[in-house]
């Protein structure tokens, strides 16, 4: 049972434009969300997080938006750069202290020069 879903397996964006990666979840108990970035032959690396008390969190070019009523979050990358080309995973947990994260299947982002 997939509790975290990333319905777009891939996304292609022109350099300098905005990349929007989407993630949906089904468990209303999820309270804390992470985005990870993964390059080939490497492990995922932590990118940005958001807790349910917020609806937005920014870190440089990366912004995560959370819509709890829709059980939806999105990652915006502005402006997109070729080095952002990677697989992006979203992950969710009922409570950060619980520390068991459920991952989506990932979206492969390709930023074209």
Partner 1 sequence: EAGVAQSPRYKIIEKRQSVAFWCNPISGHATLYWYQQILGQGPKLLIQFQNNGVVDDSQLPKDRFSAERLKGVDSTLKIQPAKLEDSAVYLCASRQTHSRNYGYTFGSGTRLTVV
Q: Determine contact, residues 111/21, Cβ cutoff 8 Å.
A: no
Binding mask 52-91 for partner 1 (x = CB under 8 A): -------------------------------------x-x
Beta strand pairing call for 62-67 and 72-77? antiparallel
- Spell out, one character per residue from 9 to 28, where the chain touches partner 1: x when CB under 8 A holds, - when not: x-------------------
Separation between Cα atoms, residue 75 and residue 69, nearest integer Å: 17
Q: Are 54 and 61 within 8 A, CB to CB?
A: no
Closest CB 14 distance from partner 1, rounded Å? 26
Largest CA distance in the chain: 41
Size of residue set near partner 1 by CB under 8 A: 25
**Residue ranges binding partner 1 (CB under 8 A):** 4, 6, 9, 32, 34, 36, 41-46, 49, 89, 91, 93, 96, 99-106
């Amino acid at each position: 049972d997939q509790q975290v879903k990333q319905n777009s397996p891939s996304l292609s964006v022109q350099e300098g434009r905005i990349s929007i990666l989407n993630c949906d979840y089904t468990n209303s108990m999820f309270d804390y969300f992470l985005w990870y970035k993964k390059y080939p032959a490497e492990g995922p690396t932590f990118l940005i997080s958001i807790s349910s008390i917020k609806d937005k969190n920014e870190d440089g070019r990366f912004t995560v938006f959370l819509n709890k009523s829709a059980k939806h979050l999105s990652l915006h990358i502005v402006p997109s750069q070729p080095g952002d080309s990677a697989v992006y995973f979203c992950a969710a947990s009922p409570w950060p202290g619980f520390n068991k994260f459920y991952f989506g299947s990932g979206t492969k982002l390709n930023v074209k020069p």
